[in-house]
Amino acid sequence: MGKNKSVTRNRKRLNQSNLFGTGMLYLLPALLLLGVFLFYPIIMSLYYSFFEVGGGGQVGDFVGWEHYASLLESPQFRQSMVSTLLFVLYTVPAQIIISLFLAVIASEKLKGNGFFRTIFSSTLGVSVAAGATIFMFLFHPSLGVLNNILGMVGIDAVDWLTDSRWALFSVALTTVWMQIGINFIILLGGLQNISRELYESADIDGAGYFAKLFKITIPLLSPVLFFVTIIGVIGSFQTFGQIDILTGGGPAGSTNIIVYSIYQEAFSYGNFGYASAQAIILFIIILIVTIIQFRVGERRVHYQ
Amino acid sequence: MMRKFIFYFLLVLSSLILFFPLLYAISASFMEPQEIYAGKLLPSSISFDAYGEVFDRVPLVHFLLVSFTVSFIVMLGQLIVSSLSAYAFVFIPFKGRELIFFLFLATMLIPWEATMIPNFLTILNLGWVNTFAGLTFPFFALPFGIFLLRQHFLTIPKELWESAQMDGCSRFKFYLKFVLPLSKSSLSALGIYGFLTTWNQYLWPLLVTNDESRRTVQIGLKMLIDTESSSSWNMVMAGVVVILIPTLILLFIGLKYIREGLTAGALKG
C-alpha cells in the first residue's frame, strides 16, 4: 500500500512539473518580451538615475541622489510639476463630465441613436498628431476659427498657443476633445449594463428623470466612473504628442509637462541620467496615484 | 413628445460641436488658399489641388505603407502573444500561475514612458533604429490584451477541454481548433484596438526612426506641419484627412466589437 501511495505521489509530482513546463512554454513569449522591454528597462531607469549618463548611453560617474536633489531644487522642474497637475485638473473632470453627458443622452431609446453613438465615439479613431494638427489650425491667431468667432462677437483675439496664460488650457481643450471617444464608449457600456427593472420600479414610485439619473444611474455607474478616472489621470500624466506639435513645451515652459520634460532632457540635451531621475519620479507618482485611488475608490464605489 | 424633441436637440447640437473639428478639416482640405485666408467655413467649389500637392510634396504613400505594415505586425504579434498567455492562465492549471498573473497585473502600474530611455538604448544597441523590428517588437506583450482574452476564455466550458482530451486532442490543437475560433469577437476587439493604437503612436516612432525609410504617417504629418503650416493650411488639412481615413473606417466598422471588448474589460477586469 505504502509503495503504491508514493508511486501516485511521484506521478502527481511529475504531472505537476510537466504542467508547469507546458504553462511556462505558453507564457514564454510574454515573459521574455515583458522582461526585455518592461522589467529590465524600469530597473535600468532607476540605475541610470544615480549616474551621469550621456546621450549615447555611456555610463559615467556615480552621483548618488544628486539628480533627485537638483530636481527638487530646480525651478523648471517645479514649474513642470505644477503644469502637469494643472493639466490633470483641466482634462480629467471635463472629459468625464462631457462623456457622461453624451453617454446619458445617447442611451435614450430613440430612432437613429446608433448614428449619434458613432459620432460620439469617433475621436477614438483620431490620432494625437492629426487631432493636434486640426486644433493648431483652429487656434491659429489670424486664420483660426476660434478667433474668428471671438471677432464676430467683438472680443479681442486670443493668442491660444503663444500666450503663457492660455497655452496649457488650449492643449487641455485639444486633449479633452480627443479623449471623449474612449470615455464615451466605456461609460455607454456601463449605462447599458444597469438593469432596466430598477428604472421600472422607480417609475412606479413616480420618480422624475433627474431623480432617476442621480439616485439610480450615477451611483450604479460609480465603478465605471472610477475606472475612467484612473485611466484618465494616468493618461494625462503620459501626454506627449499634442505638446510636441502644439507648443513644444512653451511659451516660457508653461506646457512643459512631465513626459515632454523627460523627452527634452534626454533627447534634446543628452542628459540621460537626469532624465531617468524624472522618469522614476513619474513612475512613483503614477504608483501613488493609483494606490490612493484604489484605497479611496473601494470605500466610495457602489457595486450592483 | 416634448421629451423626444429635447433629446434630439441635445444629440444634434452635441454632434455638431464634437464633429466640428473633423468637418472643418475636411472642408478646409477642399478650399483654395485665398478662401482659408478669408476665414470661410465652406469651400465655394470643391478643389482637389491640396490633395495632389500633399502627395507631391511628401512621400505620403510610403508613410502610409510603413504605418500599415507596422500596425499590422503589432496587431498580429499582440494577438499571438496575448492569446497564448491567456490560454495558459485559463486552461493549464500549473502551480504558481496566480503569482505570475499577479506579476502581469502589476506591470500595468509601470508607465511606458518611464522605460523609454533604456528601451531606446536597447534598440540602438541591437542596431534596430529605422527597422520594423524596432518599431514593433516592444509592443507585442500587452498585459491589457492578456486580461481581455483571459476574461473571454474563462467563459469557455472546461468540459469542452476534457472531452477533446479524451478524443486525443493535444493542448496546442485545442488552443488552435477550439479556443481561438470560439473567441472571434474578443480577438477582433483586441485586434482593432491594437491596430488603432499602433497606427496612432507618436513618441516611439519619433525616437527610433531618423530617416524617411521607416517613418510613419504621424511623424510624416509633424514634418509636413514644420515645413508647410506657415503657408498652405489646405494642404496640411488634406494630409490630416488622408491619415484619418483608414482609422476612422476601421473604427466605424469595428465599433461593435470594440464596445463589447472594452466594456467587458472595464466592467469585469
Using CB atoms, which residue from A41, A135, A186 is nearest to B263? A186
Give the pLDDT confidence of A111-152 residue by residue, as tens digits. 888 899 999 999 999 999 999 999 999 999 888 888 888 888
**Is B35 within 8 Å of B49 (Cβ atoms)?**
no
pLDDT at A28 over 80: yes
pLDDT at A299 over 70: no
Burial B72-109 (b: 16+ CB within 10 A, else e): bbbbebbbebbbbbbbbbbbbebeebeebbeebeebee
Inform me whether the C-beta atom of residue A163 falls under 8 Å from chain B C-beta atoms. Answer: no
pLDDT (average), residues B209-224: 91
Count Cβ atoms within 10 A of the Cβ of residue B162 and give its class: 0-12 exposed, 13-18 middle, 19 or more buried: exposed
Using CB atoms, which residue from A38, A117, A121 is nearest to B115? A38
> Pairing between strand A51-53 and A59-62?
antiparallel
How many C-beta atoms lie closer than 10 Å to residue A113's C-beta? 17
* A294: confidence class by pLDDT, cuts 50, 70, 90: confident
- B 146-175 residues inside an 8 A Cβ radius of A: 146, 171
Residue showing cell 453617454: A103
Give the pLDDT confidence of A218-263 residue by residue, as tens digits. 888 888 898 899 889 999 999 999 999 999 998 989 999 999 999 9
Count Cβ atoms within 10 A of the Cβ of residue A185 and give its class: 0-12 exposed, 13-18 middle, 19 or more buried: buried
Rounded CA separation B196/B75 (Å): 9
pLDDT (average), residues B49-55: 90
Count contacts between A and B (CB, < 8 Å). Answer: 271
pLDDT (average), residues B217-227: 90
Judged by CB atoms closer than 8 Å, whether chains meet at B104 and A34 is answered as yes
Cα distances (Å, whole numbers) of residue A249 to A76, A230, A252, A255, B117? 11, 25, 8, 5, 19
Instruction: Report the percent of chain B where pLDDT is more than 90.
Output: 58
pLDDT (average), residues A189-200: 85
pLDDT (average), residues B240-262: 86
Pick from A9-18, B14-23, B192-201, B233-242: least confident: A9-18
CATH number of A74-300: 1.10.3720.10
**Is A160 within 8 Å of A144 (Cβ atoms)?**
yes
Q: Which CATH number fits domain B24-30+48-268: 1.10.3720.10, 3.30.450.90, 1.20.90.10, 3.90.226.10?
A: 1.10.3720.10
Looking at residue A66, what is its pLDDT?
A: 93
Looking at residue A303, what is its pLDDT?
A: 55
Q: Which of A122, A160, A229 is best to mutate for the B interface (most B CBs within 10 A)?
A: A122
Which residue of A lies nearest to B258 if distances are taken between CA atoms? Answer: A185
Question: Average model confidence (pLDDT) for chain A?
Answer: 89
Rounded CA separation A227/B151 (Å): 17
* B268: confidence class by pLDDT, cuts 50, 70, 90: very low
Inform me whether the C-beta atom of residue B39 falls under 8 Å from chain A C-beta atoms. Answer: yes
Judged by CB atoms closer than 8 Å, whether chains meet at B225 and A133 is answered as yes
Q: ipTM for the complex?
A: 0.90
Judged by CB atoms closer than 8 Å, whether chains meet at A119 and B15 is answered as yes
Residue-range domain boundaries for chain B: 24-30+48-268
Residues of A in contact with B135 (CB under 8 A): none
Inform me whether the C-beta atom of residue B113 falls under 8 Å from chain A C-beta atoms. Answer: yes
The angle at the Cα of B44, spanning B41 to B47, to the nearest 5 degrees, equals 100
Judged by CB atoms closer than 8 Å, whether chains meet at B39 and A143 is answered as yes
